[in-house]
Structure 1
């Protein structure tokens, strides 16, 4: 979308620096920020009205009036009043996808997915009071609950596609369970996130939610992380040494570990832990 207004050559030669001098990318970022600000203001107005008047009794016109905008402005941002209660999900989905796209090559894909879904938790944690009220409303209004479930399903599809993208989903044979593990692991990450989020919301948005999330993800990684990739057949080409973050071998009663200097410490420790368990 073009955000910078085009002007005649003569006008360009005589005008002074103005907002139209800003690069299109900067103008686009500013417009996106303004759009998100308006969406949040409409969402705040909607939640206040839902809380005081009730969901069914609240109209779009009332939401727009409470936010100080016209009805048509509301519909430029939301298709319905139930959609207005979730103003950040579209932008959060984009941020989560950006985390996946920028993942370092040596990172375990399950770790990348765990980092990606943290963007969702940060969205809720940025406004605890709003998130707690939203949670209360979604428990009381089935239409809002359905909208929330639909939003969660989008994240799960994103992470499942990412994990499946690291394996050949058509390579289904008796010795390769990677496609199955990829789908189950993606669901497990989303479920772990939602479990921690609900517990935090029920506690009124109190507590170190990110630490709780890290603990839940550690359980998911311990359960699924060692299985993904383990079903390769002998004929499948092994990853190159440069792509493996850490490797171990045993020499008698001694365990020798070799790791890349840029390998994540938690991945190195998990590799050593798995090797110790296998040799115990």
Structure 2
């Protein structure tokens, strides 16, 4: 006997608990990551980075060693608990961008999620900054995290270029990478200055000023940035460039020079030449 079809309302109701469970699990995961990070920071500060083991970090957080490795691959990663979550939020900003917004503005909004992460806990962020300056392994882990944001923004900008075709000399991929790097560099410059000031100052205003410089350099108002399309969404067909004429004729004294595409119709080539002769 066939089962009756479930109504959309019933389906939505049954999906709600699952969605809530997923959200709760994500929150618990982030909470544990932050607890492990706090334990690692305290141990690094008291025992030094080299003198601290994974077992000690796990023990200080009240969990087993295997629990630590479910959340972090190494102790270097333990002081950056929020980057995975922040990367997801930044990507969500890109995906939800309104069609009329310039892609560079969208990327600037996306990386603000990173600044929000640091600004949420200034004291922790300042302590982490000082620690990463002292420990090369932590500095390398931080650089790897920054690279993930650059890749995300580069992919997004590439999806919004007015690419007409692929050919040698097409600089769109380079421009996308340079623009994405400029946004990240501007953000990091402001962030480092704010951290060196012990997390004091209007960091949001400073960030907006830095982004204004990036927009001026790469925005649609300059020759450099005219390749970045406004309002393009990934997957949208780029505007077609106007096809070149089948044939053209130039005059040099009493001599006519005709240039034609190899696939140009013969009658069109002849009409072009005849028209040029009439105008002489």
TM-score range, shorter chain: 0.7 to 0.9
Q: Is 2:195 aligned against 1:198?
A: no
Q: Is 2:156 aligned against 1:151?
A: no
Change in Cα spacing, 1:44 to 1:164, as seen in structure 2 (3 Å) is same
TM-superposed CA distance for 1:169, in Å, is 8.6
Deviates more, 1:202-211 or 1:66-75: 66-75
Q: Is 2:84 aligned against 1:90?
A: yes
Could you state the TM-score of these two structures normalised by the residue count of structure 2?
Answer: 0.73
TM-superposed CA distance for 1:177, in Å, is 4.2
TM-superposed CA distance for 1:235, in Å, is 5.7
Q: Is 2:241 aligned against 1:236?
A: yes
* Number of aligned residues: 217
1:224 aligned to which of 198, 218, 221: 218
**Structure 2 unaligned spans of 5+:** 1-13, 230-238, 243-280
For 1:62, what is the secondary structure of its paired residue? helix
Change in Cα spacing, 1:230 to 1:207, as seen in structure 2 (3 Å) is same
Could you state the TM-score of these two structures normalised by the residue count of structure 1?
Answer: 0.73
Q: Considering only aligned residues, what root-mean-square deviation do their CA atoms show, in Å?
A: 2.3
For 2:226, what is the secondary structure of its paired residue? coil
Aligned position for 2:51: 57
> Per-residue CA shift, 1:113-169, capped at 9, x if unaligned?
000000011111111111111111110000000000000000001000100111239
CA distance in 2, matches of 1:169, 1:134: 45
Q: Is 2:176 aligned against 1:182?
A: yes
**Does the 8 Å contact 2:160/2:228 carry over to 1?**
no
> Per-residue CA shift, 1:236-258, capped at 9, x if unaligned?
27xxxxxxxxxxxxxxxxxxxxx
**Does the 8 Å contact 1:61/1:71 carry over to 2?**
yes
Where does structure 1 differ by over 6 angstroms across 4 or more consecutive aligned residues? none
**Does the 8 Å contact 1:182/1:228 carry over to 2?**
no
Work out which of the two has the higher radius of gyration on C-alpha atoms and give 1 or 2: 2
CA distance in 2, matches of 1:188, 1:84: 28
